């Protein structure tokens, strides 16, 4: 369960320090922070559920999150310093897996509606944000490729 | 000093070669081909036969002469004798909790009669393979005990291209004695190439060659004049390595049967595999035998299958190793231009033509 | 007339199995008694191991180079010849030929950060490097060991991994591809661990060993983070019958993997991966 929403602009220094925002301008950090809220999860708590409305990105600050694909178990874990979630970018805005806190987790939740509005209002910001997210997606795709090759499978 | 050997004295030479328990290996006709096999004497030599070779074609014809060496190379080379097709590395036996290892005794030494200049060049190349950082004792013992009586070619086949590879047709080095055969009357000019060869010449008390002294050069010139096939080796290594992705490899692979004849007849190919053979009485033999990079098994990796999964990969390995990466490993080309791979390929694939197709030499621009 | 007898590189030396540790369902670590003739080896080298009645396979040496009287090998059962090596008992005798091959650049890496990335059985040929490094720990800056396996049951050297994790001068991270319910560590590929690892790409030596595909992803990630190709080393595997550059099976471009490898510097071999089936 998240803490009640606060005025995100105060989170600007925390947002700025997150690796996702490396080399981001002060103005853009402020834009992000305006959509941000501080959140905490206890071990075992779900950040979000498969099939539910996807309206957030999470900048993970501490702890580990398991990405659980229904019927297949834990596909991957996400850790502090990573960005989790971008399904707010495209309709139907739904999560494709569960995200479960393995340990105590601290994160900054970025609100999807807020981000979409700001991207549409400021295309340059939108482009930069989308490019950063695309980079994360590319990395995930690479890892999935290697993961899917099941390189350690036995020979016999 | 060059010597004269009348044809009817050849048997005396052979007796001298066989002294001390040496086995005599020479060209003899078997199953429609001239092979290098163990012979007793002159009676088993080829007489009055010549070869007609071209891509995928080998025929023997009678010439009506009494000449013994009027042909080029058959499917075999010194490789058969120095790097045998099958060889027991050792026999291991259980001994309590441990095991003993029994190495095979070295074979009787050999006098090889009939090696051509390309064969000598191939032996020199295999010396670098087997007597390098790691020495193969089986090759080393056969090699150090080998007596070589070379034959100077006086003719060439359509598949020969030794001049392109710096491997002939003139015999220059790597022999103990070299014979140049002449007719009317049937005789030989003998060149000496080593102290062992000189000792044999002395033992035979041969007369000087006299007027025939330049016969070896004349023979080599005739052979060279008969050679049409040319491989442009200038920059070939670099050109081939730049063409690893050429579609031409697939084109060759469409014709190639993967039969591995080329690697079997090639005098420098050296790949082997090892078989483990356990006998009923508890012995474990490790037997080394010729293998070929053209087989998928040769690059098999557990859990993966062959690294060179497609025939085009394997043909590429053979050609680029022979003509390119051999230089990186052994400071020379791996090819001596003997033409055996062209003659004995059932699909008639010509290494020279393929090299030229895959890695053409650039034509200089006319200014 | 015969040449003087040469040392025969084809003939194995008998050595007794002292200890057998079962690491996982299909992998064992054998300790062979080399005290009669200690075998000095460099980290990354391998031996050919022979079992009477079966045959011979190349196996990386996985023990401490500072203890050459004990030859340690970690063997995974993957075929008809490796399997019999995983069923030996203490007191059995195996034949040994070696050591062969090139070495990890442990000495040359002094003064730098060292990033060791292992996948599956790939930790075995890297263990001697880690052990040698730790004996001279002060000569290195940051040292990281990143290790990935298919699942927790496949992790090698568990006790040693825990011991290494307990050191304050070593960063050890372990991940698995598939996790059972009782695994609370990272899940995912080992390159993921690289994304979060702290090292100076301008002055880090990367040593990686594992399935070839994995190593290529590791190398790509290292280069992506700015490690120059001449500071990245990988260990290649090819079919081997002799291990002494005489049988031709391990040829790879201009190299014999048994003699010029198995450890290669990335910049020397990178372009070979552009040509599948080379």
CATH number at residue C133: 3.40.50.80
Residues C67 and C8: beta-carbon distance below 8 Å: no
Contacts of A66 in chain C (CB under 8 A): 187
A153 within a domain of the structure (yes/no): no
- Average pLDDT on A101-128 reads 95
Q: Which of C169, C188, C82, C175 is nearest to C130 (CA)?
A: C169
Q: How far is C187 from chain A (nearest CA, A)?
A: 5
Helix H, strand E, coil C: the string for B219-276 is: HHHHHHHCCCCCCCCCCHHHHHHCCCCCCHHHHHHHHCCCCCHHHHHCCCCCCEEEEE
Q: How far apart are the C-alpha atoms of B338 and B121, rounded to whole Å?
A: 10
Give the pLDDT confidence of C209-256 residue by residue, as tens digits: 999 999 999 999 999 999 999 999 999 999 999 999 999 999 999 999
pLDDT given at position C138: 94
Q: How far apart are the C-alpha atoms of B192 and C226, rounded to whole Å?
A: 64
Q: How far apart are the C-alpha atoms of B333 and B231, rounded to whole Å?
A: 12
C77: closest chain B residue by CA:
B302
pLDDT given at position B20: 86
Q: How far is A149 from chain B (nearest CA, A)?
A: 12
Task: Tell me, yes or no, whether C132 and C241 share the same domain.
Answer: yes
Residues C57 and C128: beta-carbon distance below 8 Å: no
Q: How far apart are the C-alpha atoms of B173 and A48, rounded to whole Å?
A: 82
User: C60, C77, C100 — which closes off a domain?
Assistant: C100
C1 within a domain of the structure (yes/no): no
Task: Tell me, yes or no, whether C173 and C269 share the same domain.
Answer: yes
Tokens of B19: 């002294």
Task: Tell me, yes or no, whether C93 and C23 share the same domain.
Answer: yes
The CB density around residue C32, as the number of other CB atoms within 10 Å, is 27
CB pairs under 8 A between B and C: 132
The upper half-sphere exposure of residue C129, i.e. CA atoms within 13 Å in the direction of its Cβ, equals 36
Task: Tell me, yes or no, whether C27 and C123 share the same domain.
Answer: no
Helix H, strand E, coil C: the string for B110-173 is: EEEEEECHHHHHHHHHHHHHHECCCECHHHHHHHHCCEEEEECCCCCCCCCCHHHHCCCCCCCC
B305: closest chain A residue by CA:
A155
Q: How far is A76 from chain C (nearest CA, A)?
A: 5
- Average pLDDT on A103-117 reads 94
Task: Tell me, yes or no, whether C204 and C227 share the same domain.
Answer: yes
Return the exposure string of B119-157: e unless at least 16 CB atoms fall within 10 Å of the residue's CB, then b. bbbbbebbbebbeeebbbbbbbbbbebbbbbbbbbbbbb
pLDDT given at position C1: 33
pLDDT given at position A154: 63
Res. C177: pLDDT tops 80 = yes
Beta-carbon separation of C188 and A76 below 8 A: yes
Contacts of C196 in chain A (CB under 8 A): 79, 81
- Which of A77, A142, A155 is facing C78, going by the closest CB pair? A155
CB pairs under 8 A between A and C: 62
A123 within a domain of the structure (yes/no): yes
C5 within a domain of the structure (yes/no): no
Contacts of A75 in chain C (CB under 8 A): 187-188
Q: How far is C88 from chain A (nearest CA, A)?
A: 20
pLDDT given at position A88: 87
C211: closest chain A residue by CA:
A151
Res. C44: pLDDT tops 80 = yes
- The CATH number of whichever domain residue A115 belongs to comes to 2.60.120.10
C4 within a domain of the structure (yes/no): no
C238 within a domain of the structure (yes/no): yes
Contacts of C178 in chain A (CB under 8 A): 73-74
Task: Tell me, yes or no, whether C254 and C209 share the same domain.
Answer: yes
B302: closest chain A residue by CA:
A155
- Average pLDDT on B259-281 reads 96
User: C67, C100, C133 — which closes off a domain?
Assistant: C100
Res. B303: pLDDT tops 90 = no
- Which of A74, A146, A154 is facing C213, going by the closest CB pair? A146
C191 within a domain of the structure (yes/no): yes
Beta-carbon separation of C213 and A79 below 8 A: no
B87: closest chain C residue by CA:
C10
Q: Which of B88, B65, B75 is nearest to B27 (CA)?
A: B75
C106 within a domain of the structure (yes/no): no
User: C100, C132, C164 — which closes off a domain?
Assistant: C100
Task: Tell me, yes or no, whether C85 and C149 share the same domain.
Answer: no
A-side interface with C, Cβ within 8 Å? 64, 66, 73-77, 79, 81, 102-103, 139, 142-143, 146-147, 149-156
Give the domain ranges of chain B.
2-225, 236-358
Q: Does C79 reach chain A within 8 Å, measured CB to CB?
A: yes
- CA-to-CA separations, A117 to A10, A26, A127, A128, in angstroms, rounded: 20, 19, 13, 15
- Which of A74, A75, A151 is facing C213, going by the closest CB pair? A151
pLDDT given at position C33: 97
Q: How far is A154 from chain B (nearest CA, A)?
A: 7
B220 or A7: which carries more pLDDT confidence? Answer: B220
| Total domains, chain C | 2
Chains that touch A (3 or more CB pairs under 8 A): B, C
Chain C (24-43) residues lying within 8 Å, Cβ to Cβ, of chain A: 26
Beta-carbon separation of C120 and A139 below 8 A: no
pLDDT given at position B363: 63
A63 within a domain of the structure (yes/no): yes
| B363 φ, ψ (degrees, to nearest 5) | -85, 125
Q: Which of C239, C213, C207 is nearest to C102 (CA)?
A: C207
Res. A7: pLDDT tops 80 = no
Contacts of C239 in chain B (CB under 8 A): 298-301, 307
Give the pLDDT confidence of B53-108 residue by residue, as tens digits: 999 999 999 999 999 999 999 999 999 999 999 999 999 999 999 999 999 998 99
Residues B69 and B151: beta-carbon distance below 8 Å: yes
Domain, as residue range, for A43: 8-144
C105 within a domain of the structure (yes/no): no
Res. A67: pLDDT tops 50 = yes
Which of C187, C210, C216, C220 should one mutate to test binding to chain A, selecting the residue with the greatest count of A CBs within 10 A? C187
Q: How far is A152 from chain C (nearest CA, A)?
A: 6
Contacts of C217 in chain A (CB under 8 A): 142, 146
Domain, as residue range, for C53: 13-100
The confidence band for A10, taking pLDDT boundaries of 50, 70 and 90, is confident
- The CATH number of whichever domain residue C52 belongs to comes to 2.40.30.10
A53 within a domain of the structure (yes/no): yes
A154 within a domain of the structure (yes/no): no
pLDDT given at position A51: 86
Q: Does C196 reach chain A within 8 Å, measured CB to CB?
A: yes
Task: Find the angle CA(B37)-CA(B40)-CA(B46) to the nearest 5 degrees.
Answer: 60
Beta-carbon separation of C251 and B288 below 8 A: no
- Average pLDDT on A81-90 reads 90
C6 within a domain of the structure (yes/no): no
């Amino acid at each position: 369960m998240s803490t009640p929403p606060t005025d995100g602009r105060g989170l600007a220094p925390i947002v700025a320090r997150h690796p996702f925002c490396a080399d981001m301008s002060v103005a853009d950090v402020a834009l992000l922070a305006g959509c941000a809220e501080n959140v905490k999860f206890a071990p075992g708590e779900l950040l979000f559920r498969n099939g539910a409305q996807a309206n957030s990105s999470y900048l993970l600050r501490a702890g580990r999150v398991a990405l659980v694909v229904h019927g297949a178990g834990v596909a991957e874990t996400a850790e502090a310093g990573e960005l989790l979630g971008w399904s707010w970018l495209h309709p139907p805005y739904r999560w494709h897996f569960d995200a479960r806190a393995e340990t105590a987790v601290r994160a900054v939740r970025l609100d999807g509606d807020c981000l979409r509005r700001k991207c549409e209002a400021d295309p340059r910001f939108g482009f930069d944000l989308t490019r950063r997210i695309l980079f994360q997606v590319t990395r995930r795709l690479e890892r999935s490729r290697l993961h899917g090759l099941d390189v350690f499978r036995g020979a016999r | 000093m060059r010597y004269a050997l009348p044809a009817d004295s050849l048997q005396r030479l052979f007796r001298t070669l066989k002294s001390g328990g040496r086995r005599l290996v020479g060209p003899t006709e078997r199953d429609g081909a001239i092979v290098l096999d163990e012979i007793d004497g002159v009676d088993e030599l080829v007489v009055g036969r010549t070869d007609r070779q071209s891509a995928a074609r080998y025929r023997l014809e009678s010439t009506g002469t009494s000449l013994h060496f009027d042909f080029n190379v058959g499917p075999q080379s010194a490789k058969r004798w120095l790097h045998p097709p099958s060889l027991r590395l050792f026999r291991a036996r259980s001994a309590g909790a441990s095991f003993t290892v029994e190495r095979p005794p070295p074979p009787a030494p050999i006098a090889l009669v009939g090696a051509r200049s390309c064969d000598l060049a191939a032996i020199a190349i295999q010396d670098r393979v087997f007597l390098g950082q790691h020495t193969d004792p089986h090759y080393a013992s056969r090699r150090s005990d080998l007596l070589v009586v070379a034959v100077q070619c006086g003719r060439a086949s359509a598949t020969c291209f030794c001049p392109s590879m710096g491997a002939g047709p003139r015999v220059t080095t790597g022999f103990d004695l070299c014979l140049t055969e002449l007719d009317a009357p049937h005789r030989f000019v003998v060149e000496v190439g080593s102290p062992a060869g000189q000792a044999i010449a002395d033992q035979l008390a041969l007369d000087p060659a006299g007027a025939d002294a330049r016969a070896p050069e004349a023979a080599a010139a005739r052979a060279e004049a008969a050679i049409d096939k040319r491989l442009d080796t200038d920059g070939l290594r670099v050109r081939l390595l730049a063409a690893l992705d050429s579609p031409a490899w697939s084109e060759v692979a469409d014709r190639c049967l993967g039969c591995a004849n080329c690697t079997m007849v090639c005098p420098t190919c050296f790949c082997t595999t090892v078989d483990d053979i356990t006998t009923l009485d508890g012995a474990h033999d490790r037997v080394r035998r010729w293998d070929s990079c053209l087989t998928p098994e040769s690059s098999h990796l557990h859990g993966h299958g062959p690294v060179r999964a497609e025939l085009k990969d394997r043909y590429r390995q053979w050609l680029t190793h022979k003509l390119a990466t051999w230089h990186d490993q052994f400071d020379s080309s791996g090819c001596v231009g003997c033409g055996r791979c062209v003659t004995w390929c059932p699909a008639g694939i010509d290494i020279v033509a393929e090299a030229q197709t895959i890695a053409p030499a650039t034509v200089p621009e006319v200014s | 007339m015969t040449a003087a007898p040469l040392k025969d590189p084809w003939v194995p030396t008998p050595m007794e199995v002292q200890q057998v540790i079962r690491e996982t369902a299909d992998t064992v670590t054998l300790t062979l008694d080399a005290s009669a003739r200690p075998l000095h080896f460099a980290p990354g080298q391998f031996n050919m191991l022979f079992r009477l009645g079966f045959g011979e396979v190349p196996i990386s040496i996985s023990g401490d180079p500072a203890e050459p009287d004990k030859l340690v090998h970690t063997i995974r059962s993957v075929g008809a010849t490796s399997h019999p090596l995983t069923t030996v008992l203490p007191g059995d005798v195996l034949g040994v030929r070696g050591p062969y091959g090139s070495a990890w650049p442990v000495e040359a890496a002094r003064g730098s950060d060292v990033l060791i990335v292992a996948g599956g059985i790939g930790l075995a040929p890297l263990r001697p490097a880690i052990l040698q490094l730790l004996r001279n720990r002060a000569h290195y800056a940051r040292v990281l060991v990143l290790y990935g396996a298919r699942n927790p049951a496949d992790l090698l050297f568990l006790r040693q991994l825990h011991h290494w994790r307990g050191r304050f001068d070593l960063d050890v991270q372990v991940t698995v591809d598939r996790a059972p319910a009782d695994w609370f560590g990272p899940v995912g590929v080992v390159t993921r661990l690289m994304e979060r690892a702290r090292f100076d790409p301008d002055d880090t030596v990367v040593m990686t060993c594992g399935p070839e595909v994995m190593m290529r992803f590791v190398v790509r990630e290292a280069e992506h983070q700015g490690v120059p190709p001449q500071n990245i080393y990988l260990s290649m595997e090819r079919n081997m019958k002799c291990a002494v550059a005489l049988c031709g099976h391990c040829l790879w471009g201009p190299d014999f993997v048994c003699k010029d490898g198995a450890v290669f510097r990335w910049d020397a071999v990178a372009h070979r991966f552009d040509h599948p089936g080379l």
